[in-house]
Amino acid sequence: MSNSPTTPGIQPGRLSPDAYGAHFDDLYPAYDPHEAMVAADRCYFCHDAPCITACPTEIDIPLFIRQIQAGQPDAAGKTIMDQNIFGGTCARVCPTETLCEGACVREMAEGKPVEIGRLQRYATDSLMERPDHPYTRAASTGKHVAIVGAGPAGLSCAHRLAMHGHDVTVYEAQDKPGGLNEFGIAAYKMAGDFAAREVEWLLGIGGITIRTGQALGRDVSLDALRAEHDAVFLGTGLGDVNQLGIPGEDLDGVRDAVDFIAELRQTDDLSRLAIGRDVVVIGGGMTAVDAAVQSKLLGAERVSMVYRRDRAAMSASDHEIDHAATEGVTILTGATPVAIHGQGAVAEVEFAYTGGDETFRLKADQVFKAIGQKLVPVDGLATEGRKFAGVPLAGVWAGGDCTGGGEDLTVTAVAQGRDAAEAIHADLTGNGI
């Protein structure tokens, strides 16, 4: 193959074989022990620390950093996991600049927060390297809970329930557990097979059975789950995507960004993954940024990310947008797609300046739509907007992206799964609520 970034069409192998490894490796490599000591030393051990409040899972951040300072990163990892069993993923994927690090007093003082995310990775890596799983199960309660969806919400719920002595079966539609950790998050944030290793590690507690290829609504019904289990938790995420509803949307080369990213994440050899020369990504969220950046990393010559409102309204964080710009993505705002043109396959996308009539066209041989995900409805439960309208059924709980309230972040899904587990536990054991 002798393709290059300028080869027309949607083509694989635009880069030299070794470029792929470098492009999709850890964006922020792990600290070595000395770097970690220096980074940890910057923590002031604030009283009633603002970073703890800013973390949706309320990790005791000053405590875990102090444990790193004191030479026990694995103990620090345990402090993290006590609150957030996906501490490893969160260390890699949380938009820390708007969460813990955004609240760090050193951000206020110097514009340079303590690097909490990277320290969290150092600590959780240390803990996960230990051969033993750090949690044990309470005596069996004889209760059995069904969980639908093996994403962060479902598995966080499962782990906490298993810890309390309940038996858990997880019903997962895909052939692999992990949810968007496995299929969605950008590859350079979850380098290697971290998502799979983390699930493996989490299951080390025991008492959790995952049944893959089992979709609610297709292979099992909610009624059946309720009948066979003492409680049900729904962590199904957002399985459907919004459509543009403009002419040309079904032309070849027009694709959903989440699909593309899922394929990318599941491809062993990225040099075989085809990518356009001129890629246009429509949307302004994290998914749009990830699709655009990874297109660029696969060797697309020109990648434009086009959003209909202004930059401030983009749901991707400043940090993410800056990263996209650094990777060479062109960011256009205030332009709404009105039509996709081409003979059989896409050739151009036509945009109107938002709120006006004037239009312009961008050359494209590949278009990724990243304009939002929504729920796949479940029989018996009402939907409001793109999420569940609430879960009024006795013995049924829900959490993660499929429920309202969260910001569609891994960390909120983990928090909601954990809290639902505590509520289920209280319900099943009659310990009040």
Ligand X SMILES: Cc1cc2nc3c(=O)[nH]c(=O)nc-3n(C[C@H](O)[C@H](O)[C@H](O)COP(=O)(O)OP(=O)(O)OC[C@H]3O[C@@H](n4cnc5c(N)ncnc54)[C@H](O)[C@@H]3O)c2cc1C
Which residues are near ligand X by CB under 6 A? 93-94, 148-154, 171-174, 179-180, 184-185, 189, 215-217, 235-237, 239, 258, 261, 286-287, 290, 376, 400-402, 408-411, 413
Cα 165 from Cα 149, distance rounded (Å)? 20
Cα 422 from Cα 159, distance rounded (Å)? 11
Minimum distance of other proteins from residue 38's CB (angstroms)? 5
| 48: partner contacted, choices ligand X, other proteins, none (Cβ within 5-8 A by kind) | other proteins
Minimum distance of ligand X from residue 74's CB (angstroms)? 24
Minimum distance of other proteins from residue 24's CB (angstroms)? 32
Per-position DSSP letters for 105-139, written without gaps between them:
HHHHHHS----HHHHHHHHHHHHHHSSS-S--PPS
| 313: partner contacted, choices other proteins, ligand X, none (Cβ within 5-8 A by kind) | none
Nearest in space to 255 (alpha carbons), one of 350, 365, 374, 401? 365
| 38: partner contacted, choices ligand X, other proteins, none (Cβ within 5-8 A by kind) | other proteins
Q: Are 279 and 409 in contact (CB under 8 A)?
A: no
Minimum distance of other proteins from residue 110's CB (angstroms)? 9
The DSSP call for residue 216 is B
Cα 127 from Cα 121, distance rounded (Å)? 10
First-last CA distance in the chain: 62
| 93: partner contacted, choices ligand X, other proteins, none (Cβ within 5-8 A by kind) | ligand X
| 147: partner contacted, choices other proteins, ligand X, none (Cβ within 5-8 A by kind) | none
**Where along the sequence are the contacts to other proteins (CB under 8 A)?**
34, 37-38, 40-41, 44-50, 69, 105-106, 108-109
Q: Are 225 and 58 in contact (CB under 8 A)?
A: no
CA dihedral (286, 287, 289, 294) positive or negative: positive
Cα 306 from Cα 298, distance rounded (Å)? 19
Minimum distance of ligand X from residue 257's CB (angstroms)? 7
**Residue 56, both tokens:** 């949706």
Minimum distance of other proteins from residue 117's CB (angstroms)? 19
| 138: partner contacted, choices ligand X, other proteins, none (Cβ within 5-8 A by kind) | none
Which of residues 103 and 411 has its CB atom nearest to other proteins in the complex? 103
Which of residues 116 and 286 has its CB atom nearest to other proteins in the complex? 116
